[in-house]
């Protein structure tokens, strides 16, 4: 039986009385009005009603909180039914039955057209692999250990400082990675040889590769990296100090708070020599914290000039001078500054994460070659692979407080995934028709979640249910139309895509397809 669970709260049906007539308008087998459906109490009520009335398909009708990512899956888990058998209809504030019934009716029709699915439980290994023994990796590892996980930290570098209470393997890399979330098999190669271990989850915190300070756009002695600039100035005699110093941020990539804070500090210190005049070129100064704002104000009060530019400044190191030309974002005019020394932030240049490791782990890279694709659904720490999380510079964050926050978020996400110790997997995954499959591997290449593989014996593509997120990309890309998603067959999708019919059903009638 299909049950409709409608939320009674200030952002959906304001009162139970306001939802009167919903059952008649939708014709559903069971309509339950639940106060604050998104709350723990609301979910407990839902689970109890599901058991009491033998409900096996659920329509959740509520505000966008009900529709948030993962909510339907949580409801399915709590109710003990396959995830595709739960769907959501979003309501607006002060919803009324006549206005919402057509959309709910369509959802019921779609659910009832779905076949039944089997659900099985997979055991989740509690070991976690942390790749990288820098600040992000160690912070994540400590948090995971505190949460009760067995943690193995590896680092490519052979000289890694010991970390209290953590097992750190220096000089160690992942050379092969297979399996599914909850039971990944990683081959680790290090001074001890090669071993294969099983991990329930992985946190990648590997840092990035910054620009080489002796290669373009740096010019030794004239266009130099911003880090280390104060040491360089301290080693000069007074008459050798540059009179005009330019610090350039955001040259190719907009930078974060870390390099802005560093630039304000260096500019202030350099200005205090009383000989050097500093101009800071930024596309967008990051001052959105009290500390950053205070550092910015201090630099300005000391005489540091700040030029906000648009586009990409041109830096030319000629015979007698170094010239920077940039477009002033306020006046729109080109500004040319001739100076003695330019300090360039390496964080404003492309800094790719380890592409080799991304290939081994099966991680998608974003446009800046970092480990997390540009999707708000993945924030803060998830990746395209379930059970693999990222933290710190390899996902584009270099400001230490944010790096540490990232690391704790990654640890918490890994823990939230593993803590139930079992994962539900249903049979609603992509299905390959062996008679139609030409083994062109398009689906293997395009599946963002690495769920498609090869069935060697049958010579066809094959989907791993544990990894499939039922996104349908493979079905859309397959040139032979050999892939279907049982929960989202064409009749179901086309039925949901039809315009909502607003007129209420005749009293007492059972609706047909809208």
List contacts with ligand SF4 (CB under 6 A): 429-430, 432, 437-443, 447, 449, 451-452, 461, 463, 468-474, 478, 480, 482-483
CB of 481: closest distance to ligand SF4 in angstroms? 8
CB 207 to ligand SF4: min, Å: 29
DSSP 255-317: --HHHHHHHHHHHHHHHTTSS-EEEEEESS----SHHHHHHHHHHHHTT-EEEEEEEEEEEEE
User: Nearest distance from residue 459's CB to ligand SF4, in Å?
Assistant: 10
Q: Which CB, 349 or 431, lies closer to ligand SF4?
A: 431
Residue whose entry in the numeric block shows the structure tokens 């300090």: 343
| Residue with smaller CB distance to ligand SF4, 175 or 431 | 431
Cis peptide before 380 (omega within 30 of 0): yes
Q: 10 Å Cβ neighbour count for 83?
A: 21
Compare residues 186 and 468 and give the one whose CB is closer to ligand SF4.
Answer: 468
Tell me whether residue 55 or residue 180 sits nearer to ligand SF4 (CB atom). Answer: 180
**What CA–CA distance (Å, rounded) separates 59 from 304?**
61
Name the DSSP letter for residue 90: E
Cβ atoms of 4 and 13 closer than 8 Å: no
Residue 255: both structure tokens together: 């930078």
Q: From the CB of 367, what's the least distance to ligand SF4, in Å?
A: 21
Nearer to ligand SF4, 400 or 471 (CB): 471
Residue 246 or residue 468: which is nearer to ligand SF4 going by CB? Answer: 468
To ligand SF4, the closest distance from the beta carbon of 181 in angstroms equals 12
Alpha carbon distance, N-terminus to C-terminus of the chain? 20
Reduced to 3 states (helix: H, G, I; strand: E, B; else coil), residue 4 is strand
Give CA separation, 400 vs 120, 134, 150, 235, 262, in Å. 42, 11, 25, 28, 12
Give the strand order in the sheet containing 167-170. Answer: 167-170, 150-155, 127-131, 201-204, 388-390
CB of 435 to ligand SF4, least distance (A): 11
CB-wise, 49 or 455, nearer to ligand SF4?
455
Shortest gap between Cβ of 417 and ligand SF4 (angstroms)? 17
């Amino acid at each position: 039986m299909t049950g409709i669970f409608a939320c009674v709260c200030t952002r959906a049906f304001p009162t139970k009385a306001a939802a009167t007539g919903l059952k008649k308008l939708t014709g559903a087998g069971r309509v339950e009005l639940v106060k604050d459906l998104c709350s723990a109490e609301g979910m407990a009520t839902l689970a109890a009603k599901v058991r009491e009335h033998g409900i096996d398909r659920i329509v959740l009708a509520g505000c966008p909180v009900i529709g948030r990512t993962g909510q339907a899956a949580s409801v399915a888990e709590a109710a003990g039914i396959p995830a595709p058998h739960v769907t959501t209809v979003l309501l607006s504030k002060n919803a009324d039955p006549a206005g919402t019934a057509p959309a709910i009716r369509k959802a019921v029709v779609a659910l009832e057209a779905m076949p039944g699915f089997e659900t099985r439980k997979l055991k989740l290994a509690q070991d976690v692999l942390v790749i990288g023994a820098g600040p992000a990796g160690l912070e994540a590892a400590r948090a995971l250990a505190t949460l009760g996980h067995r943690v193995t930290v590896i680092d490519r570098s052979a000289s890694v400082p010991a970390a209290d209470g953590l097992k750190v393997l220096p000089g160690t890399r992942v050379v092969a990675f297979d399996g599914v979330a909850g039971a990944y098999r990683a081959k680790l190669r290090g001074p001890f040889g090669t071993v294969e271990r099983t991990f329930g989850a992985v946190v990648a915190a590997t840092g990035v590769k910054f620009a080489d300070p002796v290669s373009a756009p740096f010019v030794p002695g004239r266009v130099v990296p911003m880090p280390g600039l104060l040491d360089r100035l301290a080693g000069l005699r007074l008459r050798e100090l540059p009179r005009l110093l330019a610090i350039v941020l955001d040259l190719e990539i907009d930078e974060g708070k870390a390099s802005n804070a560093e630039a304000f500090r260096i500019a202030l210190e350099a200005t205090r020599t009383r000989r050097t005049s500093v101009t800071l070129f930024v596309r967008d100064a990051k001052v959105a914290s009290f500390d950053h704002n205070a550092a910015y104000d201090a630099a300005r009060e000391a005489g540091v000039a700040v030029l906000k530019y648009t586009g990409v400044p041109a830096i030319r190191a000629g015979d007698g001078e170094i010239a920077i030309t940039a477009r002033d974002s306020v006046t729109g005019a080109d500004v040319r500054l001739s100076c003695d020394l330019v300090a360039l932030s390496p964080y404003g240049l492309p800094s790719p994460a380890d592409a080799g490791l991304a290939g081994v782990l099966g991680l998608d890279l974003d446009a800046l070659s970092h480990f997390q694709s540009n999707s708000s659904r993945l924030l803060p720490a998830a990746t395209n692979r379930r059970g693999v999380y990222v933290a710190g510079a390899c996902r584009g964050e270099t400001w230490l407080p944010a790096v540490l926050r990232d690391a704790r978020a990654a640890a918490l996400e890994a823990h939230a995934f593993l803590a139930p110790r079992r994962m539900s997997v249903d049979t609603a995954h992509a299905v390959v028709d062996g008679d139609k499959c030409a083994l062109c591997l398009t689906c293997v290449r395009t599946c963002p979640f690495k769920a498609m593989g090869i069935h060697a014996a049958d010579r066809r593509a094959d989907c791993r249910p544990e990894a499939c997120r039922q996104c349908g990309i493979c079905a859309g890309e397959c040139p032979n139309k050999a892939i279907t998603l049982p929960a989202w067959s064409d009749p179901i999708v086309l039925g949901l895509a039809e315009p909502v019919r607003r007129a209420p059903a005749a009293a007492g009638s059972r609706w047909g397809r809208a």
